[in-house]
Structure 1
Amino acid sequence: MHRPVDPPPHLHSAYQAFAETLARCPDADFLCIPARAERDYCPDGESFSYARMAGMAAEIRALLERSGFGHGHRIAVMLGNRPEHFQLFLAANAIGAMIVPLGFDQTADEIAHVLDDSAVDLILSVPSQRERTEDALGKIAGTPQHCDISALPDRFAPPRNPGLAATPGRATDALLLYTSGTTGLPKGCRVTNDYFLHGGQWYISRGGRMTVRNDRERIFNPFPMLHMNAGVLSLMAMILTGGCVISAERFHPASWWDDIAATRATIMHYMGVIPPILLAAEPNAAEKRHHLRFAFGAGVAPATHIAFEKRFGFPMVEVWGMTETGRTFTDHLEPRSIHTRAIGRPLPGLEARVVDSDDREVPRGTIGELTVRHTADDPRKGFFGGYLNRPDATEEAWRGGWFHTGDVVRQDEDGLLTFVDRTKNIIRRSGENISASEVEAALASHPDVVACAVLAVPDDLREEEVLACIVPTAGARQDATAAEALVRHCRERLSYFKVPGWLLFRETLPTTGTSKVQHRLIFAAGEDPRTVAGCHDLRPLKAALRKSGYADDAKGASV
């Protein structure tokens, strides 16, 4: 099925796209909530048709409009993945207002930063989050009205900020998504209607192993609505094709396959930590009952990728994307390169250029920073609208007419892009650049590893050394012998200088709402991981393995 990469020109908003599908198939499922008995909403599971959701959105829209809300106003929502989030988004989008999602995992300080930076006119939250939201409000000036979504008033207080006189359209800000803030306070990415429409159209136009059928697909997405993965891509892909969003509040390994089967999912979304956990589980009958056609995600190690597809019987399409870009690179065309960390090739609509630290394009096969732009006359077409209140940061990211991603990649002669690492995840050891992700992939291929994280630690002689944090499988050894076995396992797959010099076993690793490991939260600020009890110093073994000529050292490191 061939679809254009650009959305239909007559569409001007996410809500207009929803209204068109509503008119065409009002009784089709728009939203499905999987059953979960202990949850405080939809414990038995529930489905919402396009018509039912439209009616719910109309009620909130009327309340907003009679309270004076309209184009340009901002509404913070702390609703998780509840049906009310979708209801509020559609209502706000219909009148040109912006939604600012807050996360259940955010601290009061983090919430306060978002509220202060975004200057919202209204906050809507669920009862369980009221106290934390009030704590956050106590930390900022100019407190907006805060209402419980379960007990809405007949009218809200009037908006604090003036609205916009212009008619809402593609340039209207629809969503404000805050970046992770690993290099400073989180920045608010302005997500416009144009971004929504382009992101959804891009998803459904890929074809190949990512072919999306009209009126038949059901996307199971376990990630929070405050991320573009769930908040934009899967939502708009289903709206544009008359499909159904299956919104789980998080990843539940024990019930994953039962939930997939019960909700009749045809597509699932994942992040790198999910496949190894599912693979580590004992085979069961539920995993054979699914109707999945493909999975969409990022960060899976090659060995895990191969084993997952063999066991579960459907392709995992590795992608690359970020909040600022909306669209993604996708390795969706056969023959796919699942034995590598390939993320696909540039195609019309998303162009790539790999550059060095001076923004000079590097030769094919050389690693460098990935920069991207649209192939149209406007390089920012379909991208985010800029960082809120940070025009300097926006222009710096777009220097030279290319958006600088901060990701390190390699591009082959045939144009295939392979992900190497985040720039900040490169470890400098004795003059060598080591990708933390590459070491993580080698560790993840060991059967006793459920999850892992690789970090840099200081080294007086070599500048930095490689530290690995390992979450082992149940019953696996966690002693020096096990640590040495993991180093030998890595040495069989990596050059000498890349294998861990330090290794620490952990019961868990901190993750984001999208199941990405939060490397910066593994250790407390100022804590030296090498001094943590149980941290194994494997540098003597590493040196011995080098001297033994264990495998061919492509780089020939001398230290």
Structure 2
Amino acid sequence: MLDHATVANAFGHAAATWPDRPFLAVLPETAGIYGIEAGEISYAAAAALVERSAAAWSAAGYGHGHRVGLLLENRPAFFLTWFALNRLGISVVPINPDMRSAELEYLIGHSELVAAVAIPSRRQDILAAAAAVARVVAVVEPGEAPPPAPSAPPRGGVPDIDSECALLYTSGTTGRPKGCVLPNEYFLEAGRWYSGTGGLIAMRPGAERMLTPLPVFHMNAMAYSAMAMVATGGCLIAVDRFHPRSWWDSVRQSGATIVHYLGVMPSMLIGLPEDPRDRDHAVRFGFGAGVPRELQAPFEARFGFPLIEAWAMTETGAGAVIAAGEEPRHVGSNCFGRVHPSIEVRVVAEGGGEAGADEPGELLVRRAGDSPRFGFFREYLKDAEATAEAWAGGWFHTGDVVRRGPDGSFHFVDRKKNVIRRSGENISAVEVEGVLLRHPAVKAVAVAAAPDAVRGDEVLACVVTKEPAGEGEREALAAGLVSHCLSRLAYYKAPGWVAFVEELPLTSTQKIQRGQLKELVARIVAAGTAIDTRAMKKRG
């Protein structure tokens, strides 16, 4: 795909190659929720819509270097508008529909949007946020002609592979979101890597149908899913969100051959009652990250296809993606594969030296060869200091703690900032969360550090239960949760405090919002509402 200069060029080539193949499909359930038409849109029909939209934006004076926001949920209009704007060199800024006033104000002001395409129900929200930061932003609905551009395009010339294609904001799990500047190269390489990597995730030209419930305003669905389908003439089926009880009906109805997931999905699906139709589908593989290690093998045995665990970040794109697409996958060990020769890696131990086999350390990555940043994000917008810090020493510092097995396989441990340091022992919050999620009473859980005068940190678990627990039941339930952990983990990893909460702070992709979790834990500690289970933690 890198033979193409832009994302729009790649789509145009696909439309010319597979004009009658379906590019997008909308299932009846999603159509009903969005109030749009169900059915399929061919590559040729999509190309005609893209051409018409591009002409309208060009006539209004928009062009190379402008930024336009997209608040369109998982609708086909997202992709059609993106490709139309990309033809003109306009960078798109995907907007999470869950954003509210303060978040919208920050994004609009920071990105310097000149316009936005939004669903009708959010039009006034964007206008109000723009006014609050003293910006004039034209807001139109899908298919609506834009008003004249407020300024001339900032850049001259024809858009190329280095032109900014999109500005994606990180989830902000540990702080304020950063704007990742992503050139066309980023998206073209993502499509090339995913469609051509082979092995257990080999794709067949003109034959794949990919079902994703992941939000298209993040890199997984926008870069990997969409661009891989463009690269192979496949059909992308983006549903509004993950619906556990209707998921398998959607899989069968769509004819999906590939599904995308996050760890929460397999956990919920395997909890559904067994069904004689569990293997009645066309899925060849699932692609995602974060499946609880103890659930991976049972899920694959029950539903009949592999869950291919992968690692990447918004910042790395496909410049340094790692995926368990070849055997042995070490199922049930948080393994996300081995490194391709095109990538260089280091695993740095806490003291700064190279970590040994099976020793945890921070993952550092870069592209092998003369272009170490090939396929990566270009920079954090307006934050040269953070960009330089991320690339300190010529390596991209991921903030992820991993371990490398003797055979070169990589295993995820936790985010570096999620590691709890108790009496000199490093404890992975993700590991403890995975064990607690196996308790039948637990619906969701997040683990963080609570201050401890003796041990430095203590493990505190924030638990959402499947059924409400009364005041008289909470002590016993907390003890049961800790006993559950003590039977499966080293004693020091079990929660020393248990707090029952109604909900957890989550990002739009259902990841734990670690920054807000830290604030929640501070409030719980200050209020004294957590149940003290430290007496149960005894060395065996």
The bucket for the TM-score relative to the shorter chain is over 0.9
Q: Aligned in 2, Cα 1:345/1:355: closer, same or farther, shift over 3 Å?
A: same
Unaligned runs of 5+ in 2: none
Q: Aligned in 2, Cα 1:111/1:286: closer, same or farther, shift over 3 Å?
A: farther
Q: Aligned in 2, Cα 1:397/1:338: closer, same or farther, shift over 3 Å?
A: same
Contact persistence 1:448–1:476 (CA under 8 A): no
Q: Counterpart of 1:498?
A: 493
TM-score relative to the length of structure 2: 0.94
User: 210, 214, 217: which one pairs with 2:208?
Assistant: 217
Q: Aligned in 2, Cα 1:171/1:59: closer, same or farther, shift over 3 Å?
A: same
Q: Counterpart of 1:207?
A: 198
Equivalences for residues 361-510 of structure 1 within 5 A: 361-473=354-466, 479-510=474-505
SS at match of 2:450: strand
Contact persistence 2:171–2:507 (CA under 8 A): no
SS at match of 2:45: helix
Letter in 1 for 2:34: D
Q: Aligned in 2, Cα 1:385/1:430: closer, same or farther, shift over 3 Å?
A: same
Distance in structure 1 (CA, Å) of the matches to 2:469 and 2:255? 35
Q: Counterpart of 1:4?
A: none
User: 230, 252, 255: which one pairs with 2:246?
Assistant: 255
Q: Counterpart of 1:142?
A: 135
Does residue 1:354 correspond to 2:353, yes or no? no
Q: Counterpart of 2:537?
A: 542
Does residue 1:116 correspond to 2:116, yes or no? no
Letter in 1 for 2:537: K
Does residue 1:529 correspond to 2:524, yes or no? yes
Contact persistence 2:127–2:137 (CA under 8 A): no
- Alignment RMSD (CA, Å): 2.1
Q: In terms of mean alpha carbon deviation, does 331-340 or 532-541 score higher?
A: 532-541
Does residue 1:271 correspond to 2:262, yes or no? yes
Does residue 1:189 correspond to 2:180, yes or no? yes
Q: Aligned in 2, Cα 1:119/1:161: closer, same or farther, shift over 3 Å?
A: farther
Distance in structure 2 (CA, Å) of the matches to 1:61 and 1:386? 27
Q: Aligned in 2, Cα 1:411/1:381: closer, same or farther, shift over 3 Å?
A: same
Distance in structure 1 (CA, Å) of the matches to 2:40 and 2:501? 39
SS at match of 1:72: coil
Letter in 2 for 1:535: A
Contact persistence 1:364–1:410 (CA under 8 A): yes
Distance in structure 1 (CA, Å) of the matches to 2:245 and 2:527? 32
Q: How far 1:426 sits from its partner (Å)?
A: 0.6
Q: What CA deviation, in whole Å up to 9, does each residue of 1:374-418 have, x standing for no partner? A: 112110011111111122221211111111111111112321111
User: 77, 96, 103: which one pairs with 1:103?
Assistant: 96
Question: Among the aligned pairs, what percent are the same residue?
Answer: 42
Distance in structure 1 (CA, Å) of the matches to 2:7 and 2:475? 55
Q: Counterpart of 2:35?
A: 41
Q: How far 1:359 sits from its partner (Å)?
A: 4.9
Distance in structure 1 (CA, Å) of the matches to 2:523 and 2:62? 51
TM-score relative to the length of structure 1: 0.91
Equivalences for residues 18-167 of structure 1 within 5 A: 18-36=11-29, 38-42=32-36, 45-149=38-142, 152-153=144-145, 155-160=146-151, 162-167=153-158
SS at match of 1:209: helix
Unaligned runs of 5+ in 1: 1-6, 550-559
Q: How far 1:68 sits from its partner (Å)?
A: 1.2
Letter in 2 for 1:254: R
Contact persistence 1:304–1:445 (CA under 8 A): no
Letter in 2 for 1:276: S
Q: How far 1:286 sits from its partner (Å)?
A: 5.3
Distance in structure 2 (CA, Å) of the matches to 1:505 and 1:282? 27
Does residue 1:511 correspond to 2:506, yes or no? yes
Distance in structure 2 (CA, Å) of the matches to 1:311 and 1:507? 32
Distance in structure 1 (CA, Å) of the matches to 2:292 and 2:152? 47
Contact persistence 2:10–2:231 (CA under 8 A): yes
Contact persistence 2:105–2:129 (CA under 8 A): yes
Letter in 2 for 1:184: G
Q: In terms of mean alpha carbon deviation, does 202-211 or 285-294 score higher?
A: 285-294
Q: Counterpart of 1:227?
A: 218
Does residue 1:342 correspond to 2:309, yes or no? no
Q: What CA deviation, in whole Å up to 9, does each residue of 1:163-201 have, x standing for no partner? A: 312321110111110012234321110111111111111
Letter in 1 for 2:356: P
